[in-house]
Amino acid sequence: MDLKTLTFIVVGATFALYIAIAIYSRAKSTGDFYVAGKGVHPVANGMATAADWMSAASFISMAGLIAFLGYGGSVFLMGWTGGYVLLAMLLAPYLRKFGKFTVPEFIGERYYSQGARIVAVICLIVASITYVIGQMKGIGVAFSRFMEVDFSTGLMVGMSIVFIYAVLGGMKGITYTQIAQYCVLIFAYTIPAIFISLQLTGNPIPQLGLGSTMADGSGVYLLDKLDMIVTDLGFREYTTSSNGNMLNMFLYTLSLMIGTAGLPHVIIRFFTVPKVRDARASAGWALVFIAVLYTTAPAVGAMARLNLINTIQIGAVGSPTGNVEEAHLPDWMGRWKETGLLGWEDKNGDGRIQFYDEAGLGDKAAAYGWAGNEMTKVDRDIMVLANPEIANLPNWVIALVAAGGIAAALSTAAGLLLAIASSISHDLLKGVFMKDISEKNELMAGRIAMAGAIMVAGYLGLNPPGFAAQVVALAFGLAASSIFPALMMGIFDKRANSHGAVAGMLAGLGSTLLYIFWFKGWFFFPATAMAANIPENWILGISPEAFGAVGAMINFAVAYAVSHNTAPPPEHIQHLVEDIRIPRGSGGASSH
């Protein structure tokens, strides 16, 4: 059976499964729609959280980024896992005890202010929409390669599927679908990794294979071999090449961690468990399921890089026959060239292809008779999807990876869309503009808001800016600088009041948006950037993606200063804070 048919069957089967689950677990009340009736077991919730959390960026882009950044890619690994520690200890149990449906609802009540609630809704929508853009790019890449349809058609199919199960099932449908999606995506991610690790090192566990010797009998460690070959070709050493300076690595990681803990679609997952105790444990289970993929990713990245180089550099660097002949390039390269995500050109006319870093290799290239790097385009986002083809794995594995990538993108998109929809229908409509809306009408409004959010996401998906993982990183900066500090101050500082919270959120969000737009262009239109997005222009070498941590510090400082110089919050709010600090009496769902 050819690859295309096989892919259609595998992807089609997973879609049928998701829709069947959605019909089975249809939402009947607003409680079902927003928080799945608060009856999800912590392990199941952990698994759903993991799928919700692991986006197209985690599945498709991250290993590719690590493959080309080497050690510098660690910011994504530590940043996107360490936030769960913050979540489990600083937010999740207290927010569960508070027992409401949305993040702005907590902020509105804790800071006894509709203004604070509306600011929180704005922060939530900005962060979530930015994040959705990253998912759309992922869906487009997966579809355009595997279904051999154009980007926009693929996107429409993906959006229709989300539409059906998210609008119908709400959080209840999404939760059970996400459990199925986790199984699909983790299977799809680990199977090729196990095969490739086995081929290269003889060790079937990728986490151990990465630290093992090569299976070719040379006794050389895989990472040492990789370091050697990349430096011979002028690239930076794999295991030490950092991502900007040390301060940038530090703040980038911190931004991703705080952002993780501040992302509304992750936080609302902890409203769905029955008890405070379950909220703590659920964060642990979520991280277990996430870590399965995240500890495999460094192996996938390093091995994909080594395989790619070995495909092109078949002999000694600089020897006349050291490079692969253009006529003998493997089939998978031809297939990816058609998508425009991979490209090459025989610049020196020797009939062979050279892949090296021009600046790093310097004069040596001319001595070898090389006239420039001939791999003119290697899109990092293709590394995971091309991986099984690079390693000559059977077609069913390739089909499975396509289904896994799509599962990752769909599960995250659904979670984000729910967070956006609930903040519109519950916080804006019911909370501010139409206080006496009936439950039935609120449920309908939630569904309409969700459909609207899908349309907006679809439009942005057709005009996506940048690498999926980098766009997503911006959403983290925004969540880190606005939502996380307001939540944490609300729980840990009884003196924090509404003026402080609003001023803090606006200062944090404003400074971060300004820094990002300054270098990336206003609203991401590159032509309007105020300064070139290069390290020389950044303040202290801090990249726009890493600025969220600074924004969060500004938020904390402003909120603290303003709160402690204005009137303290009323008595009943101080009692509310004392009450959420103890687990007893968490009770069931309540919307009032």
Which residues here bind other proteins, judged by CB under 8 A?
66, 71, 73-74, 77-78, 81-82, 84-86, 88-90, 93, 207-208, 210-213, 221-224, 239-240, 246, 249-250, 253-254, 275-277, 280-281, 283-284, 287-288, 291, 294-295, 298, 578, 581-586
Structure tokens that stand for 392 in this block: 């000559």
Amino acid identity of residue 540, one-letter, is L
For 173, phi then psi, to 5°, come to -65, -45
Provide the minimum distance between the beta carbon of 81 and other proteins in the complex, in angstroms, as a whole number.
5
Helix or strand (DSSP H, E) at 343? strand 342-343
Closer CB to other proteins, residue 63 or residue 516? 63
Residue partners of 379: CB distance under 8 A and separation at least 6: 341, 342
Closer CB to other proteins, residue 78 or residue 157? 78
Torsion angle, alpha carbons of 167, 171, 173, 177, to 10 = 110
Closer CB to other proteins, residue 204 or residue 320? 204
Provide the minimum distance between the beta carbon of 480 and other proteins in the complex, in angstroms, as a whole number.
15
Between CA 235 and CA 226 the distance in angstroms is: 11
Provide the minimum distance between the beta carbon of 287 and other proteins in the complex, in angstroms, as a whole number.
5
Between CA 168 and CA 508 the distance in angstroms is: 36
Provide the minimum distance between the beta carbon of 472 and other proteins in the complex, in angstroms, as a whole number.
19
Between CA 213 and CA 196 the distance in angstroms is: 14
State the first-to-last Cα distance of the chain, in angstroms, to the nearest integer: 57
8 A C-beta contact, residue 453 and residue 417: yes
Between CA 167 and CA 164 the distance in angstroms is: 6
Provide the minimum distance between the beta carbon of 108 and other proteins in the complex, in angstroms, as a whole number.
24
**DSSP per-residue string spanning 126-194:** HHHHHHHHHHHHHHHHHHHHHT---HHHHHHHHHHHHHHHHHHHHHHHHHHHHHHHHHHHHHHHHHHHH
Closer CB to other proteins, residue 555 or residue 586? 586
Provide the minimum distance between the beta carbon of 67 and other proteins in the complex, in angstroms, as a whole number.
12
Provide the minimum distance between the beta carbon of 27 and other proteins in the complex, in angstroms, as a whole number.
26
Closer CB to other proteins, residue 97 or residue 447? 97
Closest listed residue to residue 230, CA positions, set 341, 401, 70, 468: 70
Structure tokens that stand for 183 in this block: 């199984």
Provide the minimum distance between the beta carbon of 74 and other proteins in the complex, in angstroms, as a whole number.
4
Closer CB to other proteins, residue 324 or residue 383? 383
Bridge partners of 352, per DSSP, are 325
Closer CB to other proteins, residue 73 or residue 169? 73
Closer CB to other proteins, residue 85 or residue 191? 85
